[in-house]
Structure 1
Amino acid sequence: MATKMKALIGFGKMKDDELVIVCNTIIGAMTGNAKYPTPSPALADIQALLDDFTARLAVARKRGSPEDTAIKDESREPLMVAMQQLSYYVNSVAQGHLSTLLSSGFPTNSTTVTKQVPLKVENIRLSDGRQSGQVKLDFASQKIATIYEYRYRIKTDIPTEWGDRFTTTSSRGNIIAPLEVGRFYEVQVRAINTHGVGDWSDPANILVR
């Protein structure tokens, strides 16, 4: 008898950092995903629980008091419950269809999916956008990645801090804007799945027109 594919719900065994990565990956993969039109619980509600847990985790690590750790653990519990409820929704919609399950960002019981952290993203390509001050970002996709992060900054002789990180589920046609015309920018990308985060790519550069 064939094994029915399903989203896994073992959040209780995950370390705090792993839980944050998995939740971010799933929220990113399901946001705007036409295969899951009415997530339950709502993704905005799960994001609020994740933001609360992430903030309390940061406090617990900074100060490390027993009280802060207890508050962090109390914040973790409703997040795990919500993620388990979301997995039930995903399984009810997917009905064992593997590609639909994988598009949710959830880990599955599939034996055909390599359980590895993504590789370093390659073939970063930057080109002019359709409007001035825009850049189009493309890169080589990875089958085991469920979401990608990218970041950018103005290229200077003395490197500055990278800007905010942005997420995408597509390796093609990502638009970065607004940018300063006449300045060189550099961009990095990394891949993420439920098993971890890949290395940042080598920077790609472009003169914004």
Structure 2
Amino acid sequence: MRIQKALINFSKIKDNELVSYAQKIVLKMTNNPNFTAPLPDLETVQAAITLYTAALIKSKDGTKEDTANKVALRRALENCLSALGGYVNQTVGTDLTKLDSSGFNLSRTPSVVGILDAPTLDVYYGNNSGEMFFEIGADPHATEYIVLYSPLPAPADDAEYYTKIFSKSKGMISNLTSGIKYIFKAAATSSEANKMGIYNFSNPVEKFVP
């Protein structure tokens, strides 16, 4: 299972927001018993904040050189914060309480999708003999779609059906026997469903193949 970490990429944080964000980290880590030997030390990080803040103010009505200096000092501050975030992640391990006390933004924990609900299934005649089109009710959490099909009478076990996997919720099955009635059913798959081999299948659809 993936654990939460301090985020150490700051490219999406706006210039002004980076100052307050970095200052919050320094404040929360100062005299914090969870982080007794920060690397880099907090004085170094504070110095980088001070230099960047001054460069940011100067660049607003300054020259191209002032802007370039601001960019360089932002990069220096980001490097400090990235190194400090690495220290935090290494120090706290999996202790979320300690991690949260650092002031860093944290990565999200992935939600477990689980076994998806049974989708709807529509089956249509194809353009040629032995072809059938299908449309499965799309599920935003699905990794793929599985279609089971067989000539009637329906098999007693799902393992006895023909099986096709599709990356999209619409598709075509070909090489069916013309003039025979088939049964079709479908399910949306997820990583959890695949691991357990458990799927919620749609209501079966029976159709003569042209």
Q: How does 1:58-73 map to 2 (within 5 A)?
A: 58-61=57-60, 63-73=61-71
- Mapped pair 1:82 → 2:80: yes
Q: Does the 8 Å CA contact 2:45/2:80 hold for their aligned counterparts?
A: yes
SS of alignment partner, residue 12 of structure 1:
coil
Q: Does the 8 Å CA contact 1:53/1:72 hold for their aligned counterparts?
A: yes
Q: 1:97-142, CA deviations, whole angstroms, 9 ceiling, x for partnerless residues?
A: 1111100000101459xxxxxxxxxxxxxxxxxxxxxxxxxxxxxx
Structure 1 residue ranges (4+ consecutive) displaced by more than 3 angstroms after TM superposition: none
Q: 1:131-165, CA deviations, whole angstroms, 9 ceiling, x for partnerless residues?
A: xxxxxxxxxxxxxxxxxxxxxxxxxxxxxxxxxxx
- Mapped pair 1:107 → 2:115: no
Q: Deviation at 1:96?
A: 2.0
Structure 1 CA distance for aligned equivalents of residues 83 and 72 of structure 2 = 18
5+ residue gaps in structure 1? Answer: 113-209
| More contact order relative to length (CA 8 Å, sep ≥ 6) | 1
Structure 2 CA distance for aligned equivalents of residues 8 and 86 of structure 1 = 11
Q: Does the 8 Å CA contact 1:5/1:97 hold for their aligned counterparts?
A: no
Amino acid at match of 2:102: S
Q: Deviation at 1:77?
A: 1.1
- Mapped pair 1:41 → 2:40: yes
Larger radius of gyration: 2
Structure 2 CA distance for aligned equivalents of residues 16 and 94 of structure 1 = 28
Structure 2 CA distance for aligned equivalents of residues 105 and 25 of structure 1 = 6
Aligned to 2:22: 23
From 92, 95, 103, the equivalent of 2:93 is 95
TM-score w.r.t. length of structure 2: 0.50
5+ residue gaps in structure 2? Answer: 111-210
Structure 2 CA distance for aligned equivalents of residues 5 and 50 of structure 1 = 26
Structure 1 CA distance for aligned equivalents of residues 4 and 11 of structure 2 = 21
Amino acid at match of 1:26: I
Q: Deviation at 1:64?
A: 3.4
- How large is the RMSD of aligned CA atoms in angstroms? 1.4
Q: How does 1:124-139 map to 2 (within 5 A)?
A: none
TM-score w.r.t. length of structure 1: 0.50
Q: Deviation at 1:10?
A: 1.7
Q: Identity, % of aligned pairs?
A: 38
Structure 1 CA distance for aligned equivalents of residues 12 and 62 of structure 2 = 21
Structure 1 CA distance for aligned equivalents of residues 94 and 7 of structure 2 = 12
Structure 2 CA distance for aligned equivalents of residues 97 and 65 of structure 1 = 46
Amino acid at match of 1:34: P
SS of alignment partner, residue 11 of structure 1:
coil
SS of alignment partner, residue 47 of structure 1:
helix
